[in-house]
Amino acid sequence: MNQRRAGIALALSLLLLLALAGAIAIRLSESPVPAAAPPESRWYALYLTRPGERHHPDHQTIDEGVVARIDAATATIDAAIYEMDLAAVARSLVAAARRGVQVRVVTDGDTIEARDRDPATDEAFAILERAGVPIRADTRSAIMHHKFAVFDRAIVWTGSWNWTEGDSRRLDNNAVSFTSPDVAADYAAEFERLFAGRFGSAKDAGARRDAVAVGPARVRVFFAPEDRIAPAIETAIRQATSEVQFLAFAFTHDGIGRALIDLGPRAVRVRGVFDRTMAGGSVSEFARLLRAGFEVYQDGNPGFMHHKVVVIDRKVTIVGSLNFSAAGIESNDENVLMIEDVDLASDFVAETDRVVAVARRRG
């Protein structure tokens, strides 16, 4: 009898363990899946926003990523940021300054003017001002559209992401960060031009012309308007042999549009997503590319699809602050990276897949 009771107890225990395991598995399957983080061995960190998706507690958001970079700085932080309304980021910059880091900020005059009507922007900049962080603003009609920072003259942070709540939560955005004293030197030189009050056409030639090795990648840097960005982008597109994919908030540049259209007779696949609010404009390249038979979509995000990315042959990625427009290329202060690296290209192809899927669901 005792043996029988022991057997029953053992069986019940096993059933209980199986039930618990099943419950745990179900619970895990219902948990939000974090965006893929790059392995430690990769030369870059890529941050992508996920509008409308639940935040996974183990996934570092884009604003948390820049705060982590700020908190790790030991000597200098130079930030050229078109917009900022994140008080947490401002407080992190102030904390860096208080521990002896040299912190400097360049922004656009429109952002400073927005303080009168935007309490969040006013608070963020007031935090910096009260701590004595030096701020320079562009007052031209063209805009200082950069979204980059240089940490310790060695680490670069750039992309489409403005340092705002909206860009962090509601817009599709990206930021890429990596360590390269050579590339950082180019960005630091651009920052010095801006901090000295030389904006737009007042700047001299920007970045070096040759590519820089960053781990396995080859990186070229361009600044607008001083560097000839449009011909470089058009040439890279025309060299495509299999496909070009892009994500574009504003795409009105005829030369870049023509470079894509010229790929048609060569049977190079072209796939891209335009921001819906911008695609219907009379100067948008959307209708032109659609008539050419390319796979182009209007995005499905209720907020803006704010990326500015081109991926060529799943190998070369063009990324930065630059909208593909005449104003962006000829008047604004902008930056672009042209990066030859299959891993980064693969990450942006995956992001294009996601944005295309959202666009298709909306129709």
Neighbours of 309 (CB within 10 A): 24
Could you tell me the two tokens for 298?
């209007």
Q: How far is it, in rounded angstroms, from Cα 152 to Cα 170?
A: 31
Between the alpha carbon of residue 222 and those of residues 34, 232, 320, 332, 336, the distances in Å are 32, 9, 9, 13, 5
Residue 313 annotated in active site: yes
How many other C-beta atoms lie within 10 A of the C-beta of residue 54? 9
Where residue 314 falls (left for φ over 0; alpha for ψ -120 to 50; beta otherwise) is left
- Please answer whether residues 174 and 347 qualify as being in contact, where contact means their C-beta atoms are separated by less than 8 angstroms: no
User: Does 306 qualify as catalytic in the annotation?
Assistant: yes
Question: Out of 56, 313, 315, 343, which one is annotated catalytic?
Answer: 313
| Alpha carbon distance 70, 97 (integer Å) | 10
Radius of gyration over alpha carbons of the chain, in Å? 23
Contacts of 306 by beta carbon, 8 Å cutoff, 6+ apart? 160, 161, 167, 171, 172, 173, 249, 275
CA-to-CA distance for 353 and 245, rounded, in angstroms? 10
Tell me whether strands 308-312 and 316-320 are parallel, antiparallel or unpaired. Answer: antiparallel
Active site residue 299: no
Distances (CA, A) of 15 to 3, 5, 18, 22, 236: 18, 15, 5, 11, 62
Q: Choosing from 138, 145, 308, 341, which is the catalytic residue? A: 308
Q: Provide the residue type at 297 as one letter.
A: Y
Q: Report cis status (omega within 30 of 0) of the bond before 225.
A: yes
From 145, 306, 333, 347, active-site residue: 306
Measure the CA–CA gap between 101 and 151, rounded to whole angstroms.
10
User: Which of the residues are catalytic?
Assistant: 306, 308, 313
